[in-house]
């Protein structure tokens, strides 16, 4: 067996469950079980006096201590108003997510006797700029070196593509998780994974199916007992019904019926739920996923993609037979259920592994070219600039394959290109000729990234000292539209030098990188002066709050 390279772990930070994976010495992605020997860990955090408990125990504790348990925290990532108060302390969503990440890493370290430091974390394709940044911050609070944030469907496609690289294919990744639905068209080739289009709903997931069962249970309980009160007002009953609904839903994926019992206020009602009834209660939810898929296909058509080869299903909720049935029916193609619980973490691990191999190749090739490693952008560029030859690359790849024991093709494929699109449109607040405030879109959703857009702004008065730019995110592809149809995600303040005349052009460049991070730069055109831009957002943890969370998390052992 060869010398191992520095590992980069893949983490699927899910709404309901999370998991961690790595690539083993044979080049195979494997999930690392948690301390409870489970392959997925509930993304649930229990503040148990001085202890932080994450996972199954936390999930079960929700029943007894509903106010001390936080679930579905992913839905609050990037939300400025989310604060969880416990005792005298306040926690933002990033920090609570960091505890989930810590639990995964801690258990993985125990299992592998190795430190988890570098990671690739996944997020839904529809996550906007703030949610992505919040995910990165969660990783940093947990103490990781976050190498990259990649999209869940891209990650699943990498796992899928790595199984069969014999032919190019266009796949639809239909990802129905615990709280979110993503539909993405991806062009998978031997050396690239390119996202063509993405769509979905971040408030549609397995949980909504659970809620329908809960509502039905409440109705049945009222019918049988004659009690008219809303039994969900009782937090214990609410928790009980939630857990029992999820259990029943999972059973109905395997069996035609399941018994359900509801206990509240000393009364107990027993009932049988069959799959037909469950499907009737949730038909519109599946239909919504079909509508989103059609919408995405229309957008793909505009980009010249009129067909696809396969549909792959990922996300735990695609185990419901109604999903396969409805998708087959709507699109005339039987979807493939692909490793629904594990594909995302495994794909992230494969991507991380490729990054690690790539790091090692760059180290070898920069030595060969006598070029400082920090000046190397990527290997293709070194070859293009003739700093190294194709033969140098081959030799370095062979040496790396020999040193590590990995196959030569897998080492050579480390240069996998991942191309992404923005899932949202980005614009700024401006005034139209009538003087109304509007959003003027600069980057339309489903634009391939990286992208750089420039726009001129003009000083309004003489000696203007600051310019405030409000950056707006939306799901519309219109060029101009009312402010209330977008969300303000950041403000950028330009600090201008003194003595500028009015009406002076200032060029602002908005750049979105491969990961979906936004960078803003500005230049005063008359003298080509760089202008200081301060980007501010209340939606993502930062400054002192971030440092405090990081310090708090540093020595914390989660249970």
CB closer to ligand AMP out of 275 and 319: 319
Size of the site for ligand AMP (CB under 6 A): 18
Minimum distance of ligand AMP from residue 514's CB (angstroms) = 24
Options 190-198, 300-308, 309-317, 350-358: segment touching ligand AMP (CB under 6 A): 309-317
Minimum distance of ligand AMP from residue 196's CB (angstroms) = 22
CB closer to ligand AMP out of 341 and 524: 341
Options 27-35, 287-295, 314-322, 520-528: segment touching ligand AMP (CB under 6 A): 314-322
Strands 518-524 and 505-512: antiparallel
Nearest in space to 323 (alpha carbons), one of 315, 531, 97: 315
Binding-residue pattern over the window 17 to 46 for ligand AMP, x denoting contact by CB under 6 A? x-----------------------------
Minimum distance of ligand AMP from residue 254's CB (angstroms) = 7
Whole-number Cα distances in Å, 166 to 123, 154, 188, 189, 389 = 28, 19, 11, 9, 27
Nearest in space to 92 (alpha carbons), one of 60, 137, 150, 50: 137
CB closer to ligand AMP out of 39 and 419: 39
55 belongs to the binding site for ligand AMP (CB under 6 A): no
Options 10-18, 472-480, 519-527, 533-541: segment touching ligand AMP (CB under 6 A): 10-18
CB closer to ligand AMP out of 7 and 59: 59
CB closer to ligand AMP out of 40 and 355: 40
CB closer to ligand AMP out of 100 and 317: 317
In contact, 216 and 205? CB cutoff 8 Å:
no
Orientation of helix 275-302 relative to helix 235-254, angle to 10°: 80
In contact, 225 and 269? CB cutoff 8 Å:
yes
155 belongs to the binding site for ligand AMP (CB under 6 A): no
Q: Which residues contact 313 (CB under 8 A, 6 or more apart)?
A: 174, 175, 176, 323, 324, 327, 335, 336, 337, 338, 340
16 belongs to the binding site for ligand AMP (CB under 6 A): yes
From 132, 207, 264, 445, residue interacting with ligand AMP (rule: CB under 6 A): 207
From 55, 178, 200, 427, residue interacting with ligand AMP (rule: CB under 6 A): 178
Burial class (CB in 10 A: 0-12, 13-18, 19+), 350: buried
Q: Which residues contact 388 (CB under 8 A, 6 or more apart)?
A: 365, 368, 369, 379, 382
Minimum distance of ligand AMP from residue 331's CB (angstroms) = 21
Minimum distance of ligand AMP from residue 34's CB (angstroms) = 14
Burial class (CB in 10 A: 0-12, 13-18, 19+), 484: exposed
The H or E element that residue 260 is part of is strand 257-264
320 belongs to the binding site for ligand AMP (CB under 6 A): yes
Binding-residue pattern over the window 233 to 272 for ligand AMP, x denoting contact by CB under 6 A? -------------x--xx--x-------------------
From 118, 341, 342, 360, residue interacting with ligand AMP (rule: CB under 6 A): 341
Peptide bond into 255 cis (omega under 30): no
Options 15-23, 75-83, 271-279, 373-381: segment touching ligand AMP (CB under 6 A): 15-23
177 belongs to the binding site for ligand AMP (CB under 6 A): yes
CB closer to ligand AMP out of 15 and 34: 15
Minimum distance of ligand AMP from residue 392's CB (angstroms) = 43
Q: How does 522-557 read in b/e, with b if 16+ C-beta sit within 10 Å?
A: bbbeeeeeebebeeebebbbeeeebeebbeebeeee
Strand ranges for 29-94 from DSSP E? 29-31, 41-42, 45-48, 51-54, 69-70, 84-86, 89-91
Options 9-17, 44-52, 264-272, 519-527: segment touching ligand AMP (CB under 6 A): 9-17
Options 313-321, 412-420, 428-436, 476-484: segment touching ligand AMP (CB under 6 A): 313-321
CB closer to ligand AMP out of 316 and 335: 316
Strand ranges for 336-390 from DSSP E? 336-337
Q: Which residues contact 468 (CB under 8 A, 6 or more apart)?
A: 491, 492, 493, 494
In contact, 249 and 278? CB cutoff 8 Å:
yes
In contact, 324 and 166? CB cutoff 8 Å:
no
15 belongs to the binding site for ligand AMP (CB under 6 A): yes
Q: Strand order of the sheet with strand 448-449?
A: 336-337, 310-314, 169-176, 181-188, 192-201, 417-421, 448-449
Options 300-308, 316-324, 405-413, 446-454: segment touching ligand AMP (CB under 6 A): 316-324
The H or E element that residue 171 is part of is strand 169-176
124 belongs to the binding site for ligand AMP (CB under 6 A): no
319 belongs to the binding site for ligand AMP (CB under 6 A): yes
Minimum distance of ligand AMP from residue 320's CB (angstroms) = 5
CB closer to ligand AMP out of 257 and 517: 257
In contact, 148 and 513? CB cutoff 8 Å:
no
Closest residue to bound ligand AMP by CB: 206
What is the distance between the alpha carbons of residues 258 and 303, in angstroms, rounded to a whole number? 46
From 10, 55, 199, 315, residue interacting with ligand AMP (rule: CB under 6 A): 315
Binding residues for ligand AMP, per CB under 6 A? 14-17, 177-178, 206-207, 246, 249-250, 253, 315-317, 319-320, 341
């Amino acid at each position: 067996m060869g010398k191992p390279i520095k590992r980069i772990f893949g983490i699927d930070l899910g709404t309901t469950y999370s998991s961690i994976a790595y690539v083993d010495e044979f080049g195979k992605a494997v999930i690392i079980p948690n301390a409870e020997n489970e392959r997925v860990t509930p993304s649930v955090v229990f503040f148990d006096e001085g202890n932080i408990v994450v996972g199954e125990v936390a999930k079960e504790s929700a029943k007894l201590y509903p106010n001390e348990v936080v679930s579905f925290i992913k839905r609050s990532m990037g939300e400025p108003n989310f604060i969880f108060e416990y005792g005298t302390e306040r926690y933002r969503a990033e920090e609570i997510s960091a505890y989930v990440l810590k639990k995964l890493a801690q258990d993985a370290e125990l299992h592998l006797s190795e430190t988890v430091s570098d990671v690739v974390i996944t997020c839904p394709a529809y996550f906007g700029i703030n949610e992505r940044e919040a995910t990165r911050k969660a990783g940093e609070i947990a103490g990781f070196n976050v190498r990259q944030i990649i999209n869940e469907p891209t990650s699943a496609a990498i796992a899928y593509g790595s199984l069969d690289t014999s032919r190019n294919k266009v796949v639809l990744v239909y990802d129905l998780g615990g709280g979110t639905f993503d539909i993405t068209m991806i062009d998978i080739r031997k050396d690239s994974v390119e996202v063509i289009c993405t769509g979905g709903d971040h408030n549609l997931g397995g949980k909504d199916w659970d809620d329908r069962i809960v509502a039905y249970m409440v109705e049945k309980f009222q019918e049988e007992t004659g009690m008219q009160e809303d039994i969900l007002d009782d937090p214990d009953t609410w928790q009980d019904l939630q857990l029992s609904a999820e259990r029943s839903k999972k059973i109905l994926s395997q069996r035609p019926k399941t018994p359900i019992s509801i206990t509240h206020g000393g009364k107990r009602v027993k009932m049988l739920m069959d799959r037909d009834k469950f499907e009737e209660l949730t038909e519109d939810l599946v239909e919504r996923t079909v509508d989103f898929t059609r919408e995405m296909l229309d957008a793909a058509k505009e980009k010249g993609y009129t067909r696809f080869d396969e549909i792959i299903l990922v996300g735990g909720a695609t185990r419901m037979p109604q999903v396969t049935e409805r998708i087959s029916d709507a699109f005339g193609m039987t979807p493939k259920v692909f490793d629904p619980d594990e594909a995302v973490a495994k794909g992230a691990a494969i991507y991380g592994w490729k990054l690690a191999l790539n790091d090692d190749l760059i180290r070898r090739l920069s030595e060969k070219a006598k070029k400082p490693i920090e000046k190397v952008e990527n290997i293709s560029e070194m070859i293009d600039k003739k700093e190294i030859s194709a033969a140098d690359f081959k030799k370095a790849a062979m040496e790396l394959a020999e040193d590590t024991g990995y196959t030569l093709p897998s080492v050579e494929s480390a240069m996998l290109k991942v191309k992404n699109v923005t899932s949202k449109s980005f614009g700024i607040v401006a005034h139209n000729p009538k003087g109304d405030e509007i959003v003027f879109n600069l980057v339309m959703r489903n634009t391939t990234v990286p992208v750089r857009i420039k726009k001129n702004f003009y000083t309004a008065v003489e000696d203007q000292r600051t310019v405030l730019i409000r950056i707006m995110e939306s799901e519309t592809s219109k060029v101009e539209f009312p402010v209330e149809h977008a969300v303000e995600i950041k403000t950028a303040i330009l600090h201008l030098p003194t003595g500028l005349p009015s009406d002076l052009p200032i060029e602002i460049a908005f750049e979105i990188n491969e990961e979906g991070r936004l960078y803003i730069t500005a230049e005063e055109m008359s003298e080509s002066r760089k202008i200081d831009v301060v980007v501010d957002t209340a939606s993502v943890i930062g400054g002192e709050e971030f440092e405090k969370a990081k310090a708090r998390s540093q020595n914390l052992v989660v249970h």
